Structure 1
Amino acid sequence: MRIALINENSQAAKNGLIYRVLKQVSDVKGFQVDNYGMYTADDNAQLTYVQAGIMAAALLNTGAADFVVTGCGTGEGAMLALNSFPGVICGHVEDPLDAYTFAQINDGNAMAIPFALKNGWGQELQLKYIFEQMWLEQPGSGYPKERIVPEQRNKRILDTVRDKAYRPLVDIYQDLDSELVKGSFAGQHFKELFQTNARDGAIKDYVLSLL
């Protein structure tokens, strides 16, 4: 599994902490972690949580990432932004129980964490426990166990509804403010990571054309 970490500007100062903990857990699992920044609050490329959603959609829909870890102060804005795009199912994850139930019931491919709200001492431990529970078992296995069949059926229904509800991603990008979209991909290491890991196709071609 390839995991992408995206930090928006209000919580960019915590990128190093989040990356270290995420990589610690991912290394045990044999996962790859790509850090897309923001890396510091002073980065030239300033990402809003809306732009984190734009970027996450490009990564997930091209296979440049299998899962996105992101968030904002409360996690709510990032969660809403990511869920605005096709191919993204993002859960709002405040604690390890949220992580476990989201993974097992909803089988999503992104999580938005409140990196400021209710986070102080022990934040690195809270993040560690969240990441451990997110990938404790095979995602989509169902919870509680006696509801595995209906939960998995509901997830398939949700996927069908979402497929009908969204337009192609490139069409969405083209209808948004061009500077907003282009700025979403302006991070220091975005181009090299995306160019290397994204599948060839219309989305990759369009994103690279903006750079």
Structure 2
Amino acid sequence: MSEMKIALMNEFSQAGKNPVILEQLNSVASEQGHHVFNVGMDGDNDHRLTYIHLGIMAGLLLNAKAVDFVISGCGTGQGALISLNAHPGVVCGYCIDPSDAYLFAQINNGNALALPFAKGFGWGAELNCRYIFEKAFSGERGQGYPPERKESQVQNAGILDQVKSAMCKDYLEGLKALDQELVKTAVSGERFQACFFEHSQNTALTEYVRGVLDA
């Protein structure tokens, strides 16, 4: 797999887990030649983000092509999953174990994962995270599982992308329709801004975020 830019984002309820998760993600990413941006909360005293903010952050980063993939999560992972999938251009899977990560990469070939960072996060949880990241980012994606079903799976993933595009309004217009204070909180973190402004490939989204911050 070619080099990827991966964003990790934690919300307030699991902010204390960020160092453990980041350590495992960085370890896997360095072995595979990927680069990690820790754009959410990195501790309980950091700026407060909810899973709602994670969806906005992921949508901006992925639609601006500032990153290639997002690792998110919350207590159960379900809130982050729903929040991220509410945004155009984001295809987020739910991941509990390494087989979830592998099958999502091969069958759905999305660009984000939501993990439970409280439910089931016990003894050996850091190992499970590491193995999830290894399966999520190693090898060629979209190869199908089992391999003989690749053609139909790739076709269906493409159709689903078209369905989402058709059902969603223009992304920038959608952002402007949100409570702008919600967006401002989502983009207020220095680490998020560093990643977004340095790597964004979408001028309109970059100008929009600057405008929100300056308001």
TM-score (norm. length: structure 1) = 0.97
- Aligned AA (2:41): M
Q: Match for 1:119 among 113, 118, 121?
A: 121
Match of 1:186 among 166, 172, 188: 188
Displaced runs of 4 or more, over 6 A: none
The answer for the alignment partner of 1:89 in structure 2 is 91
Report the residue type matching 2:33 in the other structure: G
Q: Percent of aligned pairs with the same residue?
A: 47
**Matching residue's letter, 2:44:** A
Within 5 Å, which residues of 2 pair with 1:20-39?
20-39=23-42
- Measured after TM superposition, the shift of residue 145 of structure 1 is 1.0
Question: Cα deviation per residue 1:151-199 (whole Å; 9 max; x = unaligned)?
Answer: 1111111121122111122211111111111100111322222111111
Aligned counterparts of 2:164 and 2:109: Cα–Cα separation in 1: 14
Contact 2:73 2:116 in 1 (8 A): yes
Contact 1:61 1:87 in 2 (8 A): yes
Q: Does 1:6 align with 2:12?
A: no
Contact 1:12-1:38 within 8 A present in 2 as well: yes
**Which residue number corresponds to residue 20 of structure 2?**
17
DSSP-derived class of the 1:69 partner: strand
> Using the alignment, how far apart are the partners of 1:204 and 1:140 within structure 2?
30
* Deviation of the 1:115 alpha carbon: 0.6
Looking at structure 2, the residues matched to 71 and 210 of structure 1 have their Cα atoms a distance apart, in angstroms, of 25
Q: Which amino acid aligns with 1:188?
A: E
Contact 1:191 1:208 in 2 (8 A): no
SS at match of 1:189: helix
Indicate the residue corresponding to 1:162 in structure 2.
164
Find the counterpart in structure 2 of residue 41 from structure 1: 44
Amino acid at match of 1:98: D
1:169–1:203 Cα contact (<8 Å) kept? no
Secondary structure at the aligned position of 1:63 is classed as: coil
- Report the secondary structure of 1:180's partner residue: helix
Aligned-partner Cα distance in 1 for 2:128–2:107: 21
State the match for 2:137 in structure 1: 135
Unmatched segments (≥5 aa) in structure 1:
none
**How many Å separate the matches in 2 of 1:195 and 1:17?**
27
In structure 2, distance between residues paired with 1:25 and 1:121: 20
- AA matched with 2:64: T
Per-residue CA deviations over 1:76-118 (Å, capped at 9, x if unaligned) read 0000000000000000101101101111000000000001101
TM-score normalised by L of structure 2? 0.95
Give distance in 2, aligned partners of 1:85 and 1:204: 17
Return the letter of the residue paired with 2:105.
Answer: A
| Secondary structure of 2:190 counterpart | coil
Is this contact kept in 1: 2:32–2:138, CA < 8 A?
Answer: no
Equivalent pairs, count: 210
